[in-house]
Amino acid sequence: MKIVICAVPYSPNLGDGVIYENIRQLLLERVPGAQVSALDIAGRDDFSATSVSRKPLMHKVPKLVLPAAVCVYFGLKYVSGWRRKWMARLAGADLVIIGGGQLMLDVHLNFPVKLFLLSCILKTLGKSGKVAVFGVGVSPSMSAAGTWLLRRTWRNLAPVYVSTRDRESAENLQRILASPLDVGVTPDPGIYSQRTFAASLAQRSPGNILGICISSPLELNQSDMETQDYGRRIGAYFRELARQASAAGYRVHLFTNGAPEDEALKNKLAADLAPGQVLNLPRPALPSQLVVNISRCDSIIAHRLHANIVAYALDIPSIGLSWDSKVKSFFSLTGRDDFFIRESIPDAAGTLKLLRQALQTGANKEKDRLTQQLAVEISALLNVSGMLPTLLSLESAASTTVT
């Protein structure tokens, strides 16, 4: 049995790799003999080319012509190699899962074009109707061109199963497609990380280690903050946060989810701080290394969604920082709204005060329920797709559906 998971598992933002590894683990626990492989819709084959970013180059292209440039660029990539490579990867697949991450996102048509090209190949190979969409994030807004592409993509895919990672994404998808659609809501697969990465986890002994996940303004995409000098101010926040945390007795670890822009800012901040104030962790090269970095911490503070999700999975208190609705949605889903900071530029002292409250809060009782729900949804996906012989009675009781 061959299952292909299509997403961006080799993204330099290793949160996407964490998602892939968790979905793969969930599948193999239920279909042990399956051949589960990845297809990266950005054309990557592994993690070897993740140290160089194209974002600075993209920011130099005039915004009015950037969507057209994106279409031309990916069209050429498709004709010159993606089509042949993807057809070979997908040939013989019994099930194709488009799964995990913020895949239904329109930034200059980036993902709409990639998903449309993928759907054309699936239709050509006769895989329409052998596709499941699992646990994706969906942006609240999409351009007219992006909407047209996604609707065409959906017709080509004819998915037998659809779920999103939060209720807002389910509502966004229904609105964008403008057609009757049953959408399941399943927790982000990252919450399964304790099971998936069990062999890699560091042995943690209480040491008051605070992990600060550094995120670049380029990655946070805070275009509405440009006039307020967001980049300088968020850098100053991280710097002051590290100083105050160190003075308060925390052993501060600076880390990133792997994106090159984040690494550049992290290294700059570490150089600005006094020797001994922080430990500047090397860039994680693999999803398992990111999980290990987080597992060594007693608490973390992060913008990045999957830094927070992995911490949650490992029972590590975290403080979420505002930049995208998906982070707020996760804290709401897990009943931890009080530990999400809504200000774009938080106050360092206030952040540490909130962190102390988080450390005093007991274990979250929602994790077991959400983990069970995730397991139920992956079983439902396999049953609907014909991969499992019978539907567990638990699924009808525990699955959440938006109609």
Q: Per-residue DSSP letters for 168-192?
A: HHHHHHHHHHTS---EEE---GGGG
Helix (H) or strand (E) holding 150: helix 144-157
> What digits encode the pLDDT tens for the residues 340-369?
999 989 999 999 999 999 999 866 778 999
Q: How far is the C-alpha of 400 from the C-alpha of 253, rounded, in Å?
A: 38
- Asked if residues 341 and 354 have their Cβ atoms less than 8 Å apart, the reply is yes
Check residue 390 and give its pLDDT: 40
Other Cβ atoms within 10 Å of 264 Cβ, number: 15
Task: Note the Cα 119 to chain centre separation in Å.
Answer: 21
Each residue's pLDDT, cut to its tens digit, for the chain (403 residues) gives 999 999 999 999 999 999 999 999 999 999 998 999 999 999 999 998 655 555 555 555 666 777 888 889 999 999 999 999 999 999 999 999 998 888 998 888 899 999 999 999 999 999 999 999 999 999 988 999 999 999 999 999 999 999 999 899 999 999 999 988 899 999 999 999 999 999 988 777 777 999 999 998 876 654 444 445 888 889 999 999 999 999 999 999 999 999 999 999 999 999 999 988 999 999 999 999 999 999 999 999 999 999 999 999 999 999 999 887 889 989 999 999 999 999 989 999 999 999 999 999 866 778 999 999 999 999 999 999 887 754 344 344 444 444 4
Which tokens in the block code for residue 163? Answer: 């779920």
Strand order in the sheet with 318-321: 278-280, 251-255, 209-213, 299-302, 318-321, 340-341
Chain centroid to CA 364? 22
pLDDT in tens, 133-153: 999 999 988 999 999 999 999
What is the reported pTM?
0.91
208, β-bridge pairs: none
The residue behind tokens 């990252």 is 190
The Cα–Cα gap between 115 and 131 comes to 13
